[in-house]
Amino acid sequence: MRVGDVQADLVIVANRLPVDRVEMPDGTKAWRRSPGGLVSALEPVLRANDGVWIGWPGGTDEDLEPFEDDGLHLLPMTMSAQDIEEHYEGFSNGTLWPLYHDVVAKPEFHREWWDGYQRVNKRFAEKCAEVAAKGATVWVQDYQLQLVPQMLRELRPDLRIGFYLHIPFPPAELFQQVPWRRQLLEGLLGADLVGFQLPQAAQNFVRLVRQRVGHKTHRDLVYLPDGRTVHAAAFPISIDFVGFDEMAHDESINQRAKEIRQQLGDPKKIMLGVDRLDYTKGIYARLRAFGELLRDTKLDVEDVIFVQVAVPSRERVEQYRKLRDDIDRLVGRLNGDLGRIGRPAISYLHTSLPRAEMAALYRAADIMVVTPYRDGMNLVAKEYVACRYEDDGALVLSEFAGAAEELRQAWLVNPYDINGMKAALLEAYEAEPKERTRRMKAMRKQVATRDVRHWADTFLEELAAVPGKHKKSVLP
């Protein structure tokens, strides 16, 4: 297939391409693969079907030709500064993101943002309509593109369209706030299959469609007046378990894990948090809980250190800048009040790390602390589990992360309950090795069987089963 005049049988549409545009030291531009789980899950399917991935490569106003990267056909979408401000930073991350995460922060509603959201969704839908072969399968990803399914169906009724939401779908009481709630629901109803992380989210969606759009529904099916049915169901996303397990066994990674422990001053125990610096992730409350355990002398800086990696994220959005300042101040205060020479309470890194370094940290950490206020799934929790091939280590996990539905043997906490979090951190810290092993074994079994391949396969199988003219399966 030549990418210039593509007619693809499988099209992935996502806000971002699986590669980033980076500037080399000599000023030239190059592509760097973003090593996400989504990419490794979709790569085999994309290859087997000679598929195309449509998305924004980062940067503004750069018109780029379709190109091939390591056998993947990529189709970059151009975004202007205004598109980014209104569609991406505005409606996607200033309105939908906080609203869909239980209004942890206050969502803002601006009509210009909505205009930008519609405009960008339309462009993605048009591009997709151009490149999809007759009867092709299209898989639209995430909250930035909720209008694409309907826009695309209007242009190309022959396509089989799936949509997957990576973040939570809120209860009706919250969703109702959006002035454009009906348009969003109708946008999603353009798909044949709408996938969510959890069954509760699929139920929220079907209930809202019944109440707000007035369509007939039965369990997880929506009946449209034109005779089409839309299926809403849960497909919990996961990770490349084998890939992480292999990386965790790597000699150099284990060597690096030992070195990290030494560099931290050989503490008895290392606690670890790894998150995008996002207000949904509960970083502030978690560090406070840890600080109080030190202050109450339940823990001692001679024995334990908390390593927090906060990956820079959405830095142009005001709420994210404020969060960064708040956490900077808290870490400074805790280290100032509770640390000793060469023994800080918290080792704080505001940076993104190479994958190998992440794996080494997972290997080094005795207790992984994942305490979001709300999270669609949380892959970090699953990655930690996948790296603990000796069945040791403890996971402290928020009840409000999608992952808590599967990782029942974690020390589950309510992140709003600081005392509860303190108790769970302490329990995980003091747990007998036998108890940790029992829990970790069960969790590893879960993640090993329900990996990201399973996620992609079940979604695409279900999509292929939707009644219609197109009978061909897209699985390799």
Residues that bind ligand GDG (CB under 6 A): 37, 166-167, 237, 274, 276, 311, 352-355, 358, 375-380, 383
Nearer to ligand GDG, 21 or 166 (CB): 166
Q: How far is the CB of 297 from ligand GDG (least distance, A)?
A: 33
Beta bridge partners of residue 76, listed in sequence order: 55
Min. distance of Cβ 67 from ligand GDG in angstroms?
23
| 118 versus 378: smaller Cβ distance to ligand GDG | 378
* Token pair for 398: 């928020």
Q: What's the closest the beta carbon of residue 242 comes to ligand GDG, in angstroms?
A: 15
With respect to ligand GDG, which residue has the nearer C-beta, 215 or 281?
281
Q: Which is nearer to ligand GDG, 35 or 179 (CB)?
A: 35
Nearer to ligand GDG, 217 or 347 (CB): 347
CB of 197 to ligand GDG, least distance (A): 7
Q: Least Å distance between CB 165 and ligand GDG?
A: 9
Our CB check for ligand GDG shows the closer of 208 and 359 to be 359
Shorter beta-carbon distance to ligand GDG: residue 214 or 354: 354
Q: Please identify, using beta-carbon distances, which residue of 83 and 383 lies nearer to ligand GDG.
A: 383
What is the closest distance, in whole angstroms, from the C-beta atom of residue 414 to ligand GDG in the complex? Answer: 18
Instruction: Write down the least CB distance from residue 462 to ligand GDG, Å.
Output: 17
Q: Taking Cα atoms as reference points, which of 160, 166, 86 lies closest to residue 120?
A: 86
Least distance between ligand GDG and beta carbon 295 (Å): 29
